[in-house]
Amino acid sequence: MRRTGGLVLLALGVFFVVLAPLLRFWAADRLVHAPADQDSTTELSAPNARYFSVADMKVLTGNLAITVTTRGDTAESAGDHVVWDQFTNVNDVTNERRGISFSLFRSAFNKYDGTGVNCCQVNVDKTPVRLQGQIFLFPFGVEKKTYPVYNPAAKQAFPAEFAGEEVLDGLRVYRFVQKIPPTVTDTLKVPATVLGMKGKGDKQAERVYDGTTTFWVEPETGLPVKQEQRRHEVLKTGDGVERTPALVGTATYTPETVGSLVRTARDNMNQIALLKTTIPLVSLIVGLAFLLVGGWLMRPERPERPERPERFEYSEQPS
C-alpha cells in the first residue's frame, strides 16, 4: 500500500512539474488576448477647437466633447482575430451644436498582438479599407521601438516612435509619438463664397489632414491608457492654398477616462501575473512536494530484526 501511494505521488509530481512551464510559456500566451465582447466608452475633450459648421456655413470656435463607443462583434470574431466596431460622435458644447461630426470604423485585428486583419468587411464610414499595423491595442509586452499604428482618419498606418517612459496615475507607461504628414482624406464641392473666393457656384476642394497623436501605453498589457490627438484639417483648393479650417484642435482623453483605463490596465496586469507567474509557480511547488513525499514513501523498508530466542538456564537437580 505504501509503495502504491508513493508511485501515485511520483506520477502526480512529474505531471505538475511538467505542467508548470507549459502553463507559463504556452497556455498563458494563448489565454491572454483581446476580448471579442468588448464594450467600452471613451471620452475626449478638445477646448477652443475651430471647425467648419455645415449648419452655420462658417467657422466656429468651441469646446468639443467627443464620445467614442467601441463594441465587439462576437458573431464575426473567430480563431485568432476579433472584430470591433467603433462609433465617434462630436458635440460642440460652447455653441450648443450636437452631432457636428460622426464617424464609423469597423476593424478586425489579431487578438494576441493587435495587428490588423483584412476580413469581415472592415471599413471607415462604409468605405472599404486595408488595415495595417496596430489597430486599437499595442502587443502584449510592448518594446521600446517604433510600431506602425493605423489612423482611421487618414485610412493608413504611420510609425509611432518610442519617446520615453512616464508615470501616469502611479502606473508606469511608455509614450509613443506618431506624426501624420499632410494627407488628402476627401475631395468635395464647396461654394466659392465659403472658401472666400470670388465668383459663383462651387469650387473643388481637398480635405487635407495632418497632425500628431501621442499614446501612453501600459507595456505589459499593450493598453493605451491616454491619448492626445493634435488635428489640423483644412480645405485646400487645387492651387494649394489653404482656404478654411475643417477641424483644428487638440483632443485628449478626459481625466475620468484615463482613471478608468488605468484601473483596467491594473486588472489586466493582475490577470496576466496570475496566468504567467502565480499558477505556474504553484504547479511547480506542488509537483516538487509530491515528488519529495513520493520518493520518501518509495524508499526501501528496513528488514525487521529476527527476535532473539529466549535463553533458558538449565540446572541439574540433585538426585
pLDDT at 28: 47
Query: What type of residue is 23?
Result: L
Four-CA torsion 37, 38, 39, 43, nearest 10 degrees: -170
Residue 32: which of 108, 112, 109 has the closest Cα? 112
How many C-alpha atoms does 59 have within 13 Å on its Cβ side? 18
Looking at residues 52-62, what average pLDDT do you find?
89
| 89-94 own/partner pairs: CB under 8 Å, 24+ apart | 90/64, 90/65, 90/66, 91/64, 91/65, 91/66, 91/67, 92/51, 92/53, 92/60, 92/62, 92/63, 92/64, 93/62, 93/63, 93/64, 93/65, 94/61, 94/62, 94/63
The gap between the terminal CA atoms of the chain, to the nearest Å, is 60
pLDDT at 36: 92
Return the exposure string of 290-300: e unless at least 16 CB atoms fall within 10 Å of the residue's CB, then b: bbebbeebeee
Looking at residues 110-120, what average pLDDT do you find?
95
Write the pLDDT tens digit of every residue in 120-135. 999 999 999 999 999 9
pLDDT at 319: 47
List CB contacts of 315: < 8 A, sequence separation 6 or more.
Answer: none
How many C-alpha atoms does 54 have within 13 Å on its Cβ side? 7
pTM for this one? 0.81
pLDDT at 3 over 70: no
pLDDT at 241: 87
Contact 226, 168 (CB under 8 A): yes
pLDDT at 305 over 70: no
